[in-house]
Amino acid sequence: MRVWMIGCGNMAGAMLTRWIESGAVKAEAVDVVNRKDRALPAGVRQARALPTGAAPDIVVLGVKPQQLDEVAGHYADRVAGAPILLSILAGVDAAVLTRAFPGPVPVPMMPNLPVALGQGVCVVNAPDVPTEVRARVDALLAPLGDVIWAAGTVYAAAAVLAGCGPAYLFRFIDALARAAEAMGVAHDDAARLALATVRGAAALAATDPRSPGALADAVASPGGTTRAGLNVLDDGAALDRLMQATLAASAARAEEMAAAARG
Ligand SMILES: NC(=O)C1=CN([C@@H]2O[C@H](COP(=O)(O)OP(=O)(O)OC[C@H]3O[C@@H](n4cnc5c(N)ncnc54)[C@H](OP(=O)(O)O)[C@@H]3O)[C@@H](O)[C@H]2O)C=CC1
Ligand SMILES: O=C(O)[C@@H]1CCC=N1
């Protein structure tokens, strides 16, 4: 599969790393265009313009949403002959993509950074694409982790959970560590313990047949120490309300960005 990537920073770079490590895409089949050379997997070509010659099987758009018009001005003509335009731009829907890049089938999606390990989530928002396009996108995304197709408000919610979720969890790890540090654990030990606890708990939740709620109950002895802590998180649904407000803020920002992109 031949791939062109327009913009290949943190997120698109994570996807590229996994594609190459998994063997889904060969490094020499990838052309990246960015404004300066970056550390990319060996064998990937990078330049300040798309290559000449036949269009690839897929074009991946990996710039910031605010850079869409600029890159469309440079590359829309070259991209027009490609069959699929896969976009990871938050708040940029299929109609906006087609306006900027007429020709290819637009496939907006929201990945997350753990795709680099093959443990990410990709939420795809292209409900009406032809079967062969869906099959091709599914095959390309499969090595990255879970793939979910969603539309409308479900996509909006799933996209912020998947796309932003890692950042929320990184904050949670830091907050756990800071709390332990405030109680006397050395800074580095607190950071290590918090990360190891989250990693182990996530691995257990991913493999154990019990739900996260049931696993929490398995940790919390009746009248014990964990229950006392859970009572703080559960008081007035404090954690639920915090997460609802967090996702709602990200979703509202995505909607603002979508409105700006629509113009
Ligand atoms: N970070 C994340 O976890 C996630 C990000 N996203 C989406 O991914 C997209 C990129 O975000 P992220 O990777 O964090 O940002 P980065 O800034 O790391 O990546 C943006 C890339 O675009 C390139 N770029 C900018 N302008 C141009 C241009 N005119 N021509 C070609 N390339 C250009 C930059 O390279 P250079 O400066 O060298 O040109 C850089 O490689 C965003 O749209 C975001 O919504 C989606 C899900 C998760
Ligand atoms: O913060 C952002 O806008 C992008 C999209 C999801 C994660 N990063």
Q: How far does residue 70's CA lie from ligand 1's centre (Å)?
A: 13
The answer, yes or no, to whether any atom of ligand 2 lies below 6 A from the CB of 62, is no
Average pLDDT over residues 203-211: 98
8 has binding-site annotation: yes
Please give the structure tokens belonging to residue 92.
């940029």
Cα–Cα distance between 110 and 122 in angstroms, integer?
6
pLDDT interval class at 213 (50, 70, 90): very high
Q: Which CATH superfamily is domain 159-255 in?
A: ProC C-terminal domain-like (1.10.3730.10)
**Which residue, judged by its Cα, is nearest atom 14 of ligand 1?**
10
Q: Residue 236: is its pLDDT beyond 90? A: yes
pLDDT digits (tens, 9 = 90+) for 78-133: 999 999 999 999 999 999 999 999 999 999 999 999 999 999 999 999 999 999 99
263 has binding-site annotation: no
Q: How far does residue 164's CA lie from ligand 2's centre (Å)?
A: 6
**Which residue, judged by its Cα, is nearest atom 5 of ligand 1?**
11
164 has binding-site annotation: no
Q: What is the DSSP letter of 51?
A: P
Hey, how many other C-beta atoms are within 10 angstroms of the C-beta on 180? 18
Cα–Cα distance between 143 and 114 in angstroms, integer?
11
**Which residue, judged by its Cα, is nearest atom 1 of ligand 2?**
164
| Cα R_g (the chain), whole angstroms | 21
Which among 82, 94, 89, 86 has a CA at the least distance from the CA of 50? 82
183 has binding-site annotation: no
Cα–Cα distance between 110 and 14 in angstroms, integer?
13
The answer, yes or no, to whether any atom of ligand 2 lies below 6 A from the CB of 111, is no
Please give the structure tokens belonging to residue 207.
């493999």
Domain ranges for the chain: 3-149, 159-255
Torsion, CA 46, CA 258, CA 79, CA 128, rounded to 10:
120
Q: Residue 51: is its pLDDT beyond 90? A: yes
**Quick one: pLDDT at residue 167?**
98
Hey, how many other C-beta atoms are within 10 angstroms of the C-beta on 18? 24
- The answer to whether the complex's ipTM is over 0.95 is yes
9 has binding-site annotation: yes
Fold match between domain 3-149 and domain 159-255: no
3-state secondary structure of 27: helix
Q: Residue 69: is its pLDDT beyond 90? A: yes
3-state secondary structure of 37: coil
Q: Residue 262: is its pLDDT beyond 90? A: no
Cα–Cα distance between 263 and 257 in angstroms, integer?
10
The answer, yes or no, to whether any atom of ligand 1 lies below 6 A from the CB of 113, is yes
Q: For a substitution probing ligand 1, which of 10, 16, 144, 255 has the most ligand atoms within 8 Å of its CB?
A: 10
Average pLDDT over residues 224-249: 98
pLDDT digits (tens, 9 = 90+) for 145-183: 999 999 999 999 999 999 999 999 999 999 999 999 999
Find out whether 97 and 44 touch, Cβ atoms under 8 Å: no
**Architecture in CATH for domain 3-149:** 3-Layer(aba) Sandwich (3.40)
